[in-house]
């Protein structure tokens, strides 16, 4: 059952990250990562991106609820008029702070990407994750699946052009969907990530589903949550195993999406030219 909802403000509460497993891939016991995973993705994401991309204010967002648990989702439609019969691509944004008690982050989360993809060529959308329905859990995966299914059923979207962006622990949802999701992904962008929290290094090789589409990892050397000395070796191993994966490392880079907005806007715009 779908219910259109009114606009509401987002309040980000930050909670500690649990350990998860995907199939037989259990989380490695990385004490520094676990101890530092106390905070995720602040409200600066929204304020910083909105000020950097003024056009975001003019793009209307639809609010709706999907699934048996009425998951809060947001959708921004392509601007302008496309040629008759021409389908658009889909960009799914998975927000950070998945352990929050706020169940409605998905209403506005994807708007952080408005301005970084051609407005006439992509639908933008975002589901919600929260405590008890984190991205790597069955409930979190179901939220993502339900939104993608709704988008494909409702709008003229090219099923071969489904893309996913994950920020902070939203990147864990990108890994999870890449392993278990119903649809192949064309492009994946993971910003300030720590994939080993759901897929240990010893399970990284031989993931056949990782060989399709592209992977782009944006990682900073000053990430306050994910220790660079542990994350960078993992990502370097990832790119050595999968030629379709690329690591964009910046020694001065920080964790929050606001840093990437302020310092690497051209890089962000280059993923969906």
Name the domain count of the chain.
1
- 1 lies in a domain? no
Residues 6+ apart with CB under 8 A from 165: 91, 92, 93, 94, 113, 174, 188, 189, 190, 191
Which pLDDT belongs to residue 13? 31
- Please check whether residue 219 is in contact with residue 228, taking contact to mean a CB–CB distance below 8 angstroms: yes
pLDDT at 94: 98
Please check the confidence at residue 42 and state whether its pLDDT lies above 80.
no
Whose tokens are 């059923």? That residue is 153
Of the listed ranges 13-22, 164-173, 243-252, the least confidently predicted one is 13-22
Whether 7 is covered by a domain: the verdict is no
pLDDT per residue over 207-259, tens digit each?
999 999 999 999 999 999 999 999 999 999 999 999 999 999 999 999 999 99
Stronger pLDDT, 9 or 221, i.e. the higher one: 221
Is pLDDT at 33 greater than 90 in this prediction?
A: no
Domain interval for residue 62: 14-269
In a domain, 6, yes or no: no
Residue 151 has pLDDT above 60, yes or no: yes
Give domain status of residue 184, yes or no. Answer: yes
CB-based contact 3:72 (threshold 8 Å): no
Q: What is the mean pLDDT of residues 154-181?
A: 97
pLDDT at position 82, please?
61
Residue 3 located in a structural domain: no
Q: What is the pLDDT of residue 245?
A: 98
User: In the prediction, which pLDDT does 79 show?
Assistant: 83
In the predicted model, what is the mean pLDDT of residues 70-81?
89
Average pLDDT on 9-29 reads 38
Residue 205 lies in a domain: yes
**Is 74 a member of any domain?**
yes
| 27 pLDDT above the threshold of 90 | no
In a domain, 4, yes or no: no
Q: What CATH number is attached to the domain comprising 77?
A: 3.40.50.1820
Q: What is the pLDDT of residue 86?
A: 84
Residue 120 in this model has a pLDDT that exceeds 60: yes
Q: What is the pLDDT of residues 190-200, one digit of tens each?
A: 999 999 999 99
Q: Provide the whole-model pTM.
A: 0.81
């Amino acid at each position: 059952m779908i219910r259109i909802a009114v606009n509401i403000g987002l309040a980000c509460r930050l909670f500690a990250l649990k350990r998860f497993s995907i199939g037989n891939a259990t989380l490695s016991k990385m004490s520094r990562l676990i101890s530092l995973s106390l905070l995720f993705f602040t409200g600066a994401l929204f304020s910083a991106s909105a000020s950097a991309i003024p056009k975001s204010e003019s793009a209307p967002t639809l609010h709706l609820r999907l699934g048996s648990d009425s998951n809060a989702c947001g959708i921004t439609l392509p601007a302008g008029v496309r040629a008759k019969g021409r389908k658009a691509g889909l960009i799914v944004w998975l927000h950070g702070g998945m352990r929050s008690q706020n169940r409605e982050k998905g209403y506005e989360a994807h708007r952080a990407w408005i301005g970084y993809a051609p407005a006439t060529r992509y639908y933008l959308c975002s589901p919600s994750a929260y405590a008890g329905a984190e991205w790597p859990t069955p409930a979190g995966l179901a939220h993502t699946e339900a939104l993608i299914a709704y988008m494909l059923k409702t709008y003229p979207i090219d099923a071969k052009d489904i893309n996913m962006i994950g920020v902070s622990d939203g990147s864990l949802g990108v890994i999870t969907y890449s392993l278990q999701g119903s649809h192949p992904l064309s492009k994946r962008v993971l910003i300030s990530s720590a994939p080993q929290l759901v897929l240990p290094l010893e399970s990284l090789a031989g993931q056949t589903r990782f060989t399709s589409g592209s992977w782009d990892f944006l990682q900073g050397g000053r990430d306050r949550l994910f220790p660079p000395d542990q994350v960078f070796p993992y990502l370097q191993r990832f790119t050595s195993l999968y030629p379709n994966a690329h690591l964009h490392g910046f020694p001065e880079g920080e964790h929050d999406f606001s840093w990437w907005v302020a310092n690497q806007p051209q890089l962000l715009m280059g993923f969906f030219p």
